[in-house]
Amino acid sequence: MRCLNDSEIQAAADNEAADAILQHVRTCRRCSERVRDRETIMAGIRQAIQTPLSMPDALSRRIGQALADGSSQGATRLRDSAPTGRTSRRAFWSAVAVAAATLVVIFLIIPMMKGPTTVSAAEILAASANRLAQPDTQGVEFLEYELTLDGAPRGMMPDHANGTYRVKQIIDHAKAGHYR
Amino acid sequence: MEARTNASQAARQLFEEHGAAVYRFACVLLRHHQDAEDVVQETFLKLLKHLTDGGNADNLRGWLFTVAAHAARDRQRRRLRWIPWAPTHDLGVGPPSLPDEDGSLRSLRSALRRLPVRDRLLLTLRSEGLSYREIAAAAKIRPASVGRLLARAVDRWDRAWRETPAISAKTPRHEVL
């Protein structure tokens, strides 16, 4: 028989090898040395791993109590395999509440958000600039805004008082830069 | 009712016999003591249910390590979704006291700590005395592959151990296990 490969050496060291392999180990000096070396390493690993590590008292008490109760009611109880009637009723009403909340958002809150809002002068000018930047618009465009000033800065706008102003823009898209 | 009582008694006895070994196994595998405690608790509560339901009572030691290995793997997968936590991030979290504080076994454990999860699993199961057939069931691998994978794990552990710098008794405990 040929000499053993690594997994056969391992199996021999672990007493898991077939009879033919063990027979070879008994007759082959090289393989028997490799098995002995492997056994030494395995003993070192066992020694490192099998350190007597004591279990925390609290854990030991908790599990011992749960097992003594015999009812699977530990600190983390095993989940029941089937939901109870109360659980399914609760799930049904939860689903109804979620559906109702969704309808309120769709039919009440979103339309309210789309209602008239106050915008700043900067936003109006930005919207106007965006319109002017659109190359695909044709003909003469008339834009009209209502601008409400509330707390106009006197230093910057001395001739303007608080109130509502109407802003009109006319843009001739046929001629570049032709607007007022 | 009598079956339930018998199951409870058997589970308690198995907990006394193998509880510490399962805890040690989970500690080595997970390197996180709260997770290890959860694994032990889950394993023995499942054992109680298994016995109460009249499950197979042959080789319950192998059964325990198989369930614990699966529970540990679930936790490892869950943990992969988070940023890996190193014990050095919180010096308040340390492993429990080890009996060899002189450092004689600490370099061996340190080498083990650097191995891939499956290598640690195979070596730990073998060290706990499980047969190749039981290891295959616990690690979810083919029985014919156990010897080969175990041999590779041992080689990697041996290499890691030789590369491990000498560990003195002054090395912080959270570096080990």
What ipTM was reported for this prediction?
0.72
Range of the domain at A44: 6-50
- A38 inside domain: yes
Contact list in A for residue B99 (CB cut-off 8 A) is 51-52
Please indicate, yes or no, whether residues B159 and B116 belong to a single structural domain of this protein: yes
Q: Record the pTM.
A: 0.59
Q: Which residues pair with A165 in a beta bridge?
A: A147
Q: What is the pLDDT of residue B94?
A: 46
Q: What is the chain A residue with the closest CA to B22?
A: A55
Domain count, chain A: 2
More confident residue, B39 or B105: B39
Q: Please spell the DSSP secondary structure of A41-95, one letter per residue.
A: HHHHHHHHH----PPPHHHHHHHHHHHHHTSS-SSSPPPPSS--HHHHHHHHHHH
Do B61 and B110 share a domain, yes or no?
no
Identify the pLDDT of residue B166.
60
Residue A162 lies in a domain: yes
Query: Do B103 and B131 share a domain, yes or no?
Result: yes
A74 near B CB under 8 A = yes
For residue A70, give the nearest of B8, B24, B108 by CB distance. Answer: B8
Instruction: Looking at the complex, report in whole angstroms how far the Cα of residue A4 sits from the nearest Cα belonging to chain B.
Output: 12
pLDDT at B113: 79
Contact in structure between B121 and B69 (CB atoms under 8 Å): yes
Whether the per-residue pLDDT at B101 is higher than 50: the answer is no
Give the H or E element holding residue B125.
helix B117-127
Query: Are B75 and B110 found together in one domain?
Result: no
Instruction: Give the percent of chain B with pLDDT over 70.
Output: 76
Number of independent structural domains in chain B: 2
Residue of A nearest to B27 (CA): A53
CATH number, domain at B27? 1.10.1740.10
User: How far, rounded to the nearest angstrom, does the alpha carbon of residue B38 sit from its chain's CA centroid?
Assistant: 12
User: B40-72: string of b/e by CB count within 10 Å (b at 16+)?
Assistant: bbbbbbbbbebbbeeeeeeebbbbbbbbbbbbb
My answer on whether B86 and B120 are in the same domain is no
pLDDT in tens, chain A (180 residues): 689 999 999 999 999 999 999 999 999 999 999 999 999 989 988 888 877 777 888 888 888 888 887 754 444 444 444 445 566 678 888 888 998 888 888 887 777 766 666 667 777 778 777 766 766 567 788 788 777 777 766 666 666 777 777 788 888 777 777 777
Q: What are the structure tokens assigned to A155, written together?
A: 């230093």
Whether B22 and B74 map to the same domain: the answer is yes
Q: Which of A9, A37, A51 to mutate to test the interface with B (most CBs of B within 10 A)?
A: A51
Regarding whether B71 and B152 lie in a shared domain, the answer is: no
| Statement to judge: residues B68 and B109 lie in one domain | no
The CATH number given to whatever domain includes residue B132 is 1.10.10
B75 plus B31 within the same structural domain: yes
Q: Given this model, what pLDDT does residue B177 score?
A: 44
At A180 the pLDDT is: 73
Other Cβ atoms closer than 10 A to B155 = 15
The lowest-confidence range among A22-36, A53-67, B36-50, B60-74 is: A53-67
Higher pLDDT, B90 or A101: A101
- Confidence (pLDDT) at B86: 56
* A81 assigned to some structural domain: no
Domain's final residue, options B94, B116, B138: B94
Task: Report how far residue A113's alpha carbon sits from residue A103's, in angstroms, rounded to the nearest whole number.
Answer: 15
B30 & B84 share domain? yes
Q: Which domain holds residue B163?
A: 97-177
Q: Report the C-alpha gap between B136 and A140 in whole angstroms.
A: 81
> Which of A31, A67, A80 has the highest number of chain B CBs within 10 A, making it the mutation to test binding with B?
A67
Residues B104 and B87 in one domain: no
Q: Which residue has the higher pLDDT, B168 or B138?
A: B138
In this structure, is residue A129 part of a structural domain? Answer: no
Query: For residues A69 and B154, which has the higher predicted lDDT (pLDDT)?
Result: B154
